[in-house]
Amino acid sequence: MMKNREDKMVFCTLFDSNYLDRGLVLYESMKKHIGSFRLYIFAFDDKAFEVLSHMKLKHAVLLSVENIMTEALCQVRKERTRTEFCWTCTPFVIGHVLQTYHEKLCTYIDADTFFFSSPAGAIEEILAHGCSVGLVEHRFERDSMYGSCIFDNGKYCIQFNTFLNDSAGMQVLKEWEEDCLNWCYYRCEDGRLGDQKYTDKWKQSYSCVHESENLGVGAAPWNLHQYRMSRNKDREIYMEYRGRKYPLVFYHFEGMKYLDNGSIYLSIWKPEAGGMGRKIRLIYGAYIRRVLSARMFLARAYHVTFEQMQVDHTLYFEGERSFKQLCKEQGVLDGSRKWFYNRRNNIVFVNKKTAELR
């Protein structure tokens, strides 16, 4: 068992300059809630490496994608999209940290996550069970669509994945590397999806894999509607489900899109669920304010802007999300209700002067 706390608080992530704003916000949330830690950041383009080199982040170890490049990775980079190549590299960045820097463990975190409290308990849970690999479920709602959600996306999400530097952990990691090299594409095919669905077989194949029991990890747009939320006197956020209550450790802001009309699409799966407006203010309000602040800093200090990340707003107002189409598919009452709450809770406008949601 690891007694040294610093040996447990070791993380890695990867992103390019398109995600610099979110990567910096992730880092700041770790500074606030973890304190002493090491975050290995793999910069996936020259601009991200240049900016982060100049910033000299105290708790970060900056690396370039070139540090992990092998002949095989050079080849697949030519064949896959930017997103697919990043997914392919996920197990390789974890392996590089463990093998090159001889860390006792490393937890991969997605760049679009944000910590609301310390993840120490979630990592210690893996060690307490005598395991070498930690997984977090998507925690899809167990309704009539549960089976198709698992089939399409996998049971587990690549967002917060811990690997110990021991024979069992490295065996699972090496298998994952080989799988991702062989096939890692942005489509569901033959039981595979990117780097993600490979994890579904680990629990059956290896006894060293632990599935997190902590509801505070893995909160995300696809499961937010299932939980009640509360705050204590110290303004800490708690997630509650069927009598189980945990501090919110991190939220995964996957799918957020900045639209060209100044609004933001949140990608929440069920915006019509009760209490969603309050949840959005608590979780998304804090995050969006920090992302906008990071963007202003990056523009001022490094001339980094994010216009290239804007998405055509009509994609989220028209077509399959239009009032007419929703009513056609789901009937007038259900279609109208879904359209109303999608506009009300899933698409937010931000006051640029105050960075408040409106």
The verdict on 202 and 186 lying in the same domain is yes
Q: What is the pLDDT of residue 358?
A: 62
Tell me the average pLDDT across 84-112.
98
Instruction: Report whether pLDDT(257) > 80.
Output: yes
The verdict on 24 and 36 lying in the same domain is yes
The verdict on 291 and 248 lying in the same domain is no
Bridge partners for 356 per DSSP: 351
Contacts of residue 320, defined as CB under 8 A and 6 or more positions apart, other chains included, come to 326
Give the residue from 254, 271, 291 where a domain finishes. Answer: 254
The verdict on 225 and 307 lying in the same domain is no
Q: What is the pLDDT of residue 234?
A: 78
Give the residue from 234, 254, 274 where a domain finishes. Answer: 254
The verdict on 101 and 200 lying in the same domain is yes
The verdict on 120 and 240 lying in the same domain is yes
Going by pLDDT thresholds of 50, 70 and 90, the confidence category of residue 232 is: confident
The verdict on 131 and 214 lying in the same domain is yes
Q: What is the pLDDT of residue 318?
A: 82
Instruction: Report whether pLDDT(330) > 90.
Output: no
Distance between CA atoms of 74 and 78, rounded to whole angstroms?
7
The verdict on 72 and 14 lying in the same domain is yes
Domain with 310 in it: 257-358
Tell me the average pLDDT across 81-105.
98
The verdict on 186 and 296 lying in the same domain is no
Instruction: Report whether pLDDT(355) > 90.
Output: no
Q: What is the pLDDT of residue 290?
A: 95
The verdict on 297 and 272 lying in the same domain is yes
More confident residue, 262 or 170: 170
Report percent pLDDT > 70 for the chain: 96
Range from 139-143, 153-157, 160-164, 316-320 carrying the lowest mean pLDDT: 316-320
Which range, 266-280, 306-320, 335-349, has the best average confidence (pLDDT)?
A: 266-280
For 161-177, b/e burial (b = at least 16 CB within 10 A) is bbbbbeebbbebbebbb
Give the residue from 225, 254, 283 where a domain finishes. Answer: 254
The verdict on 153 and 299 lying in the same domain is no
User: What is the total count of domains within the chain?
Assistant: 2
Contact 163, 94 (CB under 8 A): yes
Range from 28-37, 141-150, 321-330 carrying the lowest mean pLDDT: 321-330
Distance between CA atoms of 136 and 222, rounded to whole angstroms?
14
Residue 146: what residue type?
Y
Going by pLDDT thresholds of 50, 70 and 90, the confidence category of residue 30 is: very high
The verdict on 132 and 225 lying in the same domain is yes
